[in-house]
Amino acid sequence: MSHIVSVSDLTQALKDVLEAEFPFVWVRGQVTNLARPASGHLYFTLSDAGAALPVVWFKNSQGRGNRGAGGGQGADRVDPLTGEVLEPGRDVAGSLADGQEVLVAGRVTVYAARGAYQLVAELVQPSGVSDLALAFEALKRKLSDKGWFDEARKRPIPPSPVRVALVTSAQGAAVRDFLRLAEARGTGAELRIHSTLVQGLAAPAQIAAQLDAVNADGWAQVIALIRGGGSLEDLWAFNSEAVAEAMVRSKIPVVTGVGHEPDVTIADFVADKRFSTPSAVASGLWPLRADLMQGVDALEADLARAFLALLQRRQAQFSELRRGLAWLSPVKRLARLDEAWLDTSQRLAAAGGRMLDARRERLAAAVRGLSRAFGPAEVSAFQAQVQALAGRAHLAAGVALAGAEGRVRVLAARLAGLDPEGPLSRGYSLVRIERTGRFLRSATDVVAGDRLGVRTADGEVAAVVAAGMAAGMAEKKSGEG
């Protein structure tokens, strides 16, 4: 659980922050809801088109600037905050009225009883138009016509620059405030102070020269042109054309923080980026180191959450893959196959049993049918018929066998008469000519010298045809012809 604070502690913390950030500001607006209680304090609201700010002007601060330097009522009065010479006899507190345009200088604080912030006024001045204001507007129109205020001309400011050149008075309060705020912001940067006058007739030339020197050096990433608050006359060096021209020709981006919140100078219009005060320049160039640390913590928390979510997704994927792997593992597969085989065996055994039962029933039915169709009388009749047919078949087989034996004897005699080797037993012989491999049928089939094979009933005799015999055979054949 986060730390719980009381309302008073939180209000006091907000009061400390506001008073530290806005120790002294100038605010321009219109007086409304003016109240003059018996205490002599003045309460009113400072308003413009977009907002309203409660203001309290205590009695002891209303006489500021009403007494002259010599103590007399007729002497010139000098504002101790701005050095402005006030006209004699002017009573701002007494003449203040609803609807009046004023400049109010003071500090921002928190009124704890109501939980509201307010401006405690130290000085209130009517807002009028002077010769310097007219000159300011004329120069503003001139430089605007030249295009020096165009946003397209302006360059972006690098985020969290590490090399910044300060063009300001080294002895001014503005540089001390800037350095104090810069020390607690960003991740570290180098600063070079280019000291110059920021007020008086010689100030514009010195400011322009320092801007040119920073560009010639080429070291800085950003030029910060800063000055504390003051009257229009005090800030007039930043309303000169020489300073504006030096800013336009600068190759390095220039930011400004001149005066207080309502103060606007020509340099602010020309600058690549304008901040309301020197402190605002430091705040704008670098984020609070605490904010950076908080951002790092937030990023760390986001990273931790993202990593946890990633880890959970990976664990879910792992579980899913593990279930899938378990389903596909050989052991599980064998177990499933064994279970399926057992189930199939049981179903097969059951089906076989049912089939055997059905076959037994069919066989029993057939037996019963046969028993009904073929009783003892029918079986005896069939046996008698079978015996009669067997006797007839035996007689027919004997007659057929006798006829077949007679035909075999006739055929055997005929076959023996046709046997070429039969005559050999009666003294005949077969003569084969070895040269032709044929049997000798004529005397002309041989010539002198032919070898003959004479086959008899009990063997074979080799012979050779003589020359005379062959010639006699040939003559005998010729005489016969």
Instruction: Say what the pLDDT of residue 76 is.
Output: 45
The helix-helix angle for 131-145 and 241-249 (nearest 10°) equals 30
Q: Predicted confidence band at 198 (pLDDT cuts at 50, 70, 90)?
A: very high
Per-residue pLDDT, 84? 44
Q: Write down the pLDDT at residue 472.
A: 56
Q: What is the mean pLDDT of the chain?
A: 83
pLDDT at 126 over 60: yes
pLDDT at 431 over 90: no
Average pLDDT over residues 334-338: 81
Per-residue pLDDT at 249: 95
Q: Is the pLDDT of residue 75 over 70?
A: no
Residue 454 scores a pLDDT above 70: yes
Average pLDDT estimate for 84-112: 75
Q: How far is CA 350 from CA 205, 353, 364, in A?
A: 115, 5, 21
Residue 33's pLDDT is: 87
Residue 478 has a pLDDT of 54
Which is higher by pLDDT, 329 or 337?
Answer: 337
pTM of model > 0.85 = no
pLDDT attached to residue 441:
83
Q: Give the mean model confidence (pLDDT) for residues 101-116.
A: 85
**Is the model more confident about 457 or about 350?**
350
The pLDDT tens digits of the residues spanning 200-253 come to: 899 999 999 999 999 999 999 999 999 988 766 788 899 999 999 999 999 999
Closest CA to 46 of 60, 32, 34, 36: 32
Q: Where are the beta strands (DSSP E) in 266-344?
A: 273-275
Length of the chain measured in residues: 481
Residue 466 sits at φ, ψ, to 5 deg, of -80, 165
Name the phi and psi angles at 459, rounded to 5.
165, -165
Residue 272 has pLDDT above 60, yes or no: yes
Rounded alpha-carbon distances, angstroms, from residue 419 to 163, 230, 415, 424: 140, 163, 6, 10
Put residue 188 in one of left, alpha, beta given phi > 0 → left and psi -120 to 50 → alpha. left
pLDDT at position 338, please? 85
Write out the two tokens for 378: 């029918």
* pLDDT over 50 (residue 367): yes
Name which of 33-47, 339-353, 372-386, 424-438 the model is least confident about: 372-386
Query: Quick one: pLDDT at residue 72?
Result: 40
Residues of the chain with CATH 3.40.50.280: 134-290
More confident residue, 182 or 164: 164
Strand partners, 255: 224, 273
Query: How far from 30 is each of 50, 103, 194, 276, 448, CA to CA, in Å?
Result: 12, 9, 39, 20, 170
| Residue 23 reports pLDDT greater than 80 | no
Mean pLDDT of 38-56: 88
pLDDT > 70? residue 423: yes
Q: Pick 134-290's CATH classification: 3.40.50.280, 3.40.50.620, 3.40.50.720, 3.40.190.10.
A: 3.40.50.280
What dotted CATH number matches 7-128?
A: 2.40.50.140
pLDDT band at 271; cut points 50, 70, 90: very high
- Output the pLDDT for position 302: 92
Q: Where in the chain is the domain with CATH 2.40.50.140?
A: 7-128
Asked whether residue 471 carries a pLDDT value surpassing 70, the answer given is: no
Residue 116 reports pLDDT greater than 50 = yes
Residue range 129-139: mean pLDDT, rounded: 69
If pLDDT is split at 50, 70 and 90, which confidence band does 77 have?
very low
For 110-124, 126-140, 334-348, 433-447, which range has the lowest pLDDT when averaged over its residues?
126-140
pLDDT at res. 389: 86
Identify the weakest region by mean pLDDT among 15-24, 83-92, 156-165, 405-414.
Answer: 83-92
Question: Which of 378-387 are b and which e, b meaning 16 or more Cβ less than 10 Å from the residue's Cβ?
Answer: eeeeeeeeee
Q: Pull the structure tokens for residue 431.
A: 């003569």
Cα distance between residue 131 and residue 269, in whole Å: 20
